[in-house]
């Protein structure tokens, strides 16, 4: 039987910041789950706040014109087919100089349907239609204090 899972990673914020950082200080959990679900996806969608100009320019310079770029309100959204270059970027260049996850939202899609959703800079994760084996895997790589809802 398939279920859905939501994972909330314990976070903290530094003084004068609203950026949520994982209490454990690293994003290994995120990288493991992204790597797993990249194998099941065919497209990638990244959302950045418009003021995150460094990240936006980085993505544009590496992937435009192969990706679609659109603005929706305060967000810049990138959408493109999963390529070896996109996979390398997601799995190897996922933090900025402050060692924070670069992207507000990352969606991995298969035939336009969500197979993985990461939001709030990797501190909230939603994975639909998982089987028990995948739930066990996600639990095994998540921080021990992560809160999970399975339904």
Which residues in the chain show pLDDT less than 70? none
Contact 46, 105 (CB under 8 A): yes
The pTM (predicted TM-score) of the whole model is 0.95
Question: What does the block give as tokens for 79?
Answer: 């959408």
For every residue of the chain, DSSP letters joined together read: --EEEEEE--EE--TT----EETTS--HHHHHHHHHHHTT-SEEEEEEETT-HHHHHHHHHHHTTTSEEEEETTEEEEEEE--HHHHHHHHHS-B-TTS-BS-SEEEEEETTEEEEEEETTTTEEEEEEE-HHHHHHHHHHS-TT-EEEE-
What tokens appear for 7 in the block?
A: 């994972």
Question: What is the model's pLDDT at position 144?
Answer: 94
Query: Residue 117's pLDDT is what?
Result: 98
pLDDT digits (tens, 9 = 90+) for 34-76: 999 999 999 999 999 999 999 999 999 999 999 999 999 999 9
- Residue 31's pLDDT is 97
pLDDT value at position 66?
93
**Which whole-number Å values give the CA distances from 78 to 32, 60, 98, 119, in the listed order?**
22, 9, 22, 15
């Amino acid at each position: 039987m398939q279920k859905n899972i939501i994972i909330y990673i314990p976070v903290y914020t530094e003084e004068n910041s609203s950026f949520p950082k994982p209490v454990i200080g690293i994003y290994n959990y995120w990288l493991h789950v992204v790597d797993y679900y990249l194998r099941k996806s065919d497209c990638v969608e990244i959302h950045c706040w418009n003021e995150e100009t460094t990240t936006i320019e980085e993505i544009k310079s590496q992937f435009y014109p192969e990706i679609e770029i659109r603005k929706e309100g305060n967000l810049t959204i990138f959408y493109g087919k999963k390529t070896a270059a996109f996979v390398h970027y997601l799995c190897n260049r996922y933090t900025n100089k402050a060692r924070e996850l670069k992207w507000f939202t990352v969606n991995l899609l298969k035939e336009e349907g969500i197979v993985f959703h990461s939001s709030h800079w990797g501190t909230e994760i939603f994975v639909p239609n998982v089987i028990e084996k995948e739930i066990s895997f996600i639990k095994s790589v998540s921080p021990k204090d992560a809160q999970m809802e399975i339904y």
